[in-house]
Amino acid sequence: MLSIFIQIVFAIQAQVLKTQYISNDTIWSEDTVRIYNNIVIENQATLQIEPGVYVEFQGNYSIDVYGKIKAIGNINDSIIFTIDDYTSIDDTTTTNGGWGGIRFLTNNSDTSSLSYCRFSFGKAVVPGVTWDDDNNEDNKGGAIYLKGYAHLTISNSTFYHNRASYRGGGIMISNCSSIQLLNNTFKYNHVYFTGGGISIESTSSSVINGNLFLSNSAFYIVYTELGPFAGGAGGGLSVYCNSVISYNKFFSNNSASGTLYESSYNSLIYNNIIANNRGPGMLVGGWSVGITKIINNTVVNNLNYSPGGCGFYFFSSTVMMRNNIVFGNNWDDDWHEPIQVYSPLDIKADFAYSCNPDSPDYYEGEGNIHDDPIFVNPTEGVGPDYDGSVADWSLQNSSPCVNTGTPDTTGLILPEFDIAGNPRIYGNRIDMGAYENQVVVVGLPKNPLVNSTIEIMPNPFKDSFSINLFGENKINGISVMNQSGITLSYTKHFPTNGFMLINLNGYTSVLYLVVVEYTDGTRRVEKVLKQ
């Protein structure tokens, strides 16, 4: 009898039923929360969900947020949103198999936050209605839908196998004051029209940073008298408003119009890797007068449906493209050579200091190179049959892309670091692509004077280090520089004993350069590490 009582108590704790309307601040802290109806968080109310809570929907029900939601898990204890039975998730004739998502609606002041959450099998479809109905909001946003909500931050979360009919297989956002999507993973999300992982429009401030887009799809086929026509935009991401898109990785996504689809006036796209996707790597400049900046991206080994724009497909001659690697992208047939950078309009791109094998029919600009970028460990072929996520897209020391980016970075709004977190400019000049080689230093050759030597002790050092100079009569000057080439100190006069003490107390614990200038004009560089 005691055993039966314990089992009943446990069952009650594990099957917590929530009321439909939340009008006061509420905390969900139970192990499992089962949802049997739509939940509405009313204006002025906050729903807080504790780490480790398992939210399981028993049908296509949603959480409608007019107030706030704070779902903050942690790296060891995520908050999970899913459904009890997902076997019909891909059947668009029914709402079965998916829950209705979290829907943020009509709130012009509040901020909601979702962190370390897992969203799987969200479903936004309307059976019996064509998927291409832009006016039907229930066709948008598989796991997250936002319209007219002020501020939302989603970080360190996973969106897995969600689907919507029209926009935003994982997330659909419109009319938002600010959105931050940081360090999330989007995997196996699907939509027909646009934004396999994410679709964003009409948002004042949009930051998409550090996310992984893997095997998402925005794709459909229409059969006409002339044969099948493939459509869909943004297999990973679609943006229709000014955005900062940085440090993201896109692999094995599928769309006819760009894994990354950008149709805005003034976005900033930098330090992204787009590799081994189906369709063109990037479609940009949807506004024909757009001034978007596309800087230091690696767009490689994508497999397009047509020969034009296998890497970049652009519509604006005023889009600025600098320091990009657009190489090895191909298409299904061989009757026409693949075109890496292409526009269907009679315009040319502002495409300079980049790596691209094409003849410059569709772009103009100086400093472009056409040689193999020589990655450390690229994939062996094009398209999603090869896993770009396990490749190494950094540059070998012998790469022609090292130290050959634009010598003038004015106005590029460059970040401090590359996609691996290393200094963005190493050795006085920027590299092409998303990675910055941390070995090759431009313009600083080794000193050929064998009787002039340098001894640095200790190395690594804590606050200061000494430099012993032998043959100092042949030395013209000595500098201490950071990895961005900025001089921290410079000395022309040395003690007669050839001994110097350099104090870097208070400086960041990174690698520094000691640069010795000799009287014959040559230089010698020694690296010293501050712990």
Within a domain: residue 260?
Answer: no
Please name the residue that has the structure tokens 């692509």: 433
Last residue of some domain: 443, 467, 485?
443
Measured from the Cβ of residue 213, the count of other Cβ atoms closer than 10 Å reads: 31
439 plus 460 within the same structural domain: no
Return the amino acid letter for 44.
Q
What the block records as the tokens of 406 is: 């634009």
pLDDT tens for the 531 residues of the chain, in order:
444 443 433 334 554 555 689 999 999 999 999 999 999 999 999 999 999 999 999 999 999 999 999 999 999 999 999 999 999 999 999 999 999 999 999 999 999 999 999 999 999 999 988 888 888 899 999 999 999 999 999 999 999 999 999 999 999 999 999 999 999 999 999 999 999 999 999 999 999 999 999 999 999 988 877 778 889 999 999 999 999 999 999 999 999 999 999 999 999 999 999 999 999 999 998 778 899 999 999 999 999 999 999 999 999 999 999 999 999 999 999 889 999 999 989 898 899 999 999 988 888 889 999 999 999 999 999 999 999 999 999 999 999 999 999 998 888 888 889 999 988 988 789 999 999 999 887 654 433 333 456 677 788 878 777 777 655 446 677 888 776 567 777 776 555 456 677 788 777 777 777 877 766 666 677 778 787
Q: Given this model, what pLDDT does residue 341 score? A: 95
CATH number at residue 487: 2.60.40.1930
Distance, CA of 246 to CA of 266 (rounded, Å): 14
Say if residues 385 and 445 touch (Cβ distance below 8 Å).
no
Within a domain: residue 321?
Answer: yes
Q: Given this model, what pLDDT does residue 257 score? A: 95
Last residue of some domain: 398, 421, 443?
443
Say if residues 387 and 416 touch (Cβ distance below 8 Å).
no
349 plus 391 within the same structural domain: yes
374 plus 237 within the same structural domain: no
Last residue of some domain: 443, 469, 484?
443
225 plus 90 within the same structural domain: yes
Say if residues 143 and 79 touch (Cβ distance below 8 Å).
no
Within a domain: residue 41?
Answer: yes
426 plus 298 within the same structural domain: yes
399 plus 467 within the same structural domain: no
Instruction: Give 323: exposed, middle or buried? Use CB within 10 Å, 0-12, 13-18, 19+.
Output: buried
19 plus 60 within the same structural domain: yes
3-state secondary structure of 13: helix
pTM of the predicted protein model: 0.82
Domain that holds residue 60: 1-241
Distance, CA of 267 to CA of 284 (rounded, Å): 10
**Which of 71, 77, 101 minimizes the C-alpha distance to 89?**
101
Q: What is residue 396's DSSP assignment?
A: P
383 plus 491 within the same structural domain: no
3-state secondary structure of 198: strand
- Residues in CB range of 323: below 8 A, 6 or more apart: 295, 296, 353, 354, 405, 406, 430, 431, 432, 433
Q: Given this model, what pLDDT does residue 497 score? A: 53
- Residues in CB range of 224: below 8 A, 6 or more apart: none
Domains: count for the chain = 3
294 plus 164 within the same structural domain: no
Q: Given this model, what pLDDT does residue 217 score? A: 98
123 plus 185 within the same structural domain: yes
335 plus 219 within the same structural domain: no
Within a domain: residue 142?
Answer: yes
Within a domain: residue 248?
Answer: no
DSSP 296-359: S-EEES-EESSSTTSSEEE--TT-EEES-EEES-EES-SSS---SEE-SSS--EEEES-B--S-
Within a domain: residue 281?
Answer: yes
Phi and psi for 472 in degrees, rounded to 5? -70, -15
Using CA atoms, how far residue 430 sits from 65, 271, 320, in Å, is 45, 12, 17
What the block records as the tokens of 51 is: 């780490």
Phi and psi for 227 in degrees, rounded to 5? 120, -175
Within a domain: residue 74?
Answer: yes
Q: Given this model, what pLDDT does residue 12 score? A: 41
Q: What is residue 399's DSSP assignment?
A: -
Instruction: Give 459: exposed, middle or buried? Use CB within 10 Å, 0-12, 13-18, 19+.
Output: middle
DSSP β-ladder status, 523-529 and 190-191 = unpaired
150 plus 289 within the same structural domain: no
Distance, CA of 427 to CA of 437 (rounded, Å): 9
Within a domain: residue 99?
Answer: yes
Return the amino acid letter for 322.
R
